[in-house]
Amino acid sequence: MSDEGGTGEPLSDSQKREIAVWFLSNAPAGEIHYVAKDVRALLGDDAVYEAAAAEAFPEYNKARLVSLELPDRSGDIIITAYGEIDKNNYLDPRTAQVASIDHMKQTCTKLRPAEDEELPSAYIEEFRCALDVELSKYVAEAYPKGTCAVYCTSGKDIEGPGADFCFAAVISATKRSPQNFCNGSWRSIWTMEFNYELQFVDIKGNIQVDAHYFEEGNVQLDTNIDRKDSTIMQSPDDCAVSITSIIRHHESEYLSSLEESYLNLSDATFKDLRRKLPVTRTLFPWHNTLAVSLTRDLAKQLALGK
């Protein structure tokens, strides 16, 4: 990182930091520490690296929905903007605790009980908790190493029926197998707007799938898709069942479409990446060129072999 564009002019510390932040922020799922080790070695400047890491790690953890075990082993917390109290403290709505996070080490350092103003009212919590229970059942079935959380993003102080409120349901699942040269993650965020007047719940989702295979090469999958749906506003338990069923349907449908595209990969995509066979569907007989009529004709005209 000493030259810029081959001009021979040295990069400033600010430029080095920006480049380092880019590499760290774009590290594949579960691989930021490997990238960080190489970036630090390339920089050769601990001060610049520390500045870049302090900027990149928190954003990476939030963007990747990194899941960390709570210090008291009561569960996992997802690092997401929906639960962010400040840069280093995040709410776990399920246990009503706030965890302090060491972003660069990706660990929880301590816990404290959440304060009243950080939690939703009893009325909103009834809806949130019911959805969290149903969503947890689904995630446990669909994602063996998945975690989820439900946050109230608007209207958390509502004490009873008569007003609108919003939730965000976050699902994070990772598959790390560096010994087999592959890592991957599934991230989905579902937002819900509860409209009391219309007795209607508007649902929007975004699903992101990342995979990295790096045995003797470097192949990455980075795909995302948006989904929309709706349901009738009912009791907390009925709403939870209906919303979870909608999420299950859309995620299963998208997973099936990905699997189908993989099945077609060898017959379609890979064939477009290599030289196609002749119309005879056979390889050119380089070992016996005389078998080709054009070769025989040329040999006859040129009197080859005489």
Question: What architecture does CATH give domain 11-64?
Answer: 2-Layer Sandwich (3.30)
Q: Under CATH, domain 120-274 is a member of which superfamily? A: F-actin capping protein, beta subunit (3.90.1150.210)
Q: Read off the pTM.
A: 0.82
Give domain limits for the chain: 11-64, 65-118, 120-274
Spatial distance between the Cα atoms of 194 and 201, rounded to a whole number of angstroms: 5
Question: Is 233 exposed, middle or buried, given 0-12, 13-18 or 19+ CB atoms closer than 10 A?
Answer: buried
CATH 3.30.1490.190 fits 65-118, yes or no: no
Which residue is listed with tokens 């446990």? Answer: 140
Structure tokens at 149: 């959380």
Give the pLDDT of residue 277: 56
CB 169 within 8 A of CB 148: yes
In order along its 306 residues, the chain shows pLDDT tens digits of 555 445 567 889 999 999 999 999 999 888 999 999 999 999 999 999 999 999 999 999 999 999 999 988 888 999 999 999 999 999 999 999 999 999 999 999 999 999 999 999 999 999 999 999 999 999 999 998 899 999 999 999 999 999 999 999 999 999 888 888 889 999 999 999 999 999 999 999 999 999 888 887 788 888 999 999 999 999 999 999 999 999 999 999 999 988 887 776 656 555 555 555 555 666 656 566 555 555 555 556 566 554
Which residues touch 276 (CB under 8 Å, ≥6 apart)? Answer: none
Contacts of 213 (CB under 8 A, 6+ apart): 181, 182, 219, 220
Within this chain, domains 11-64 and 120-274 share the same CATH topology: no
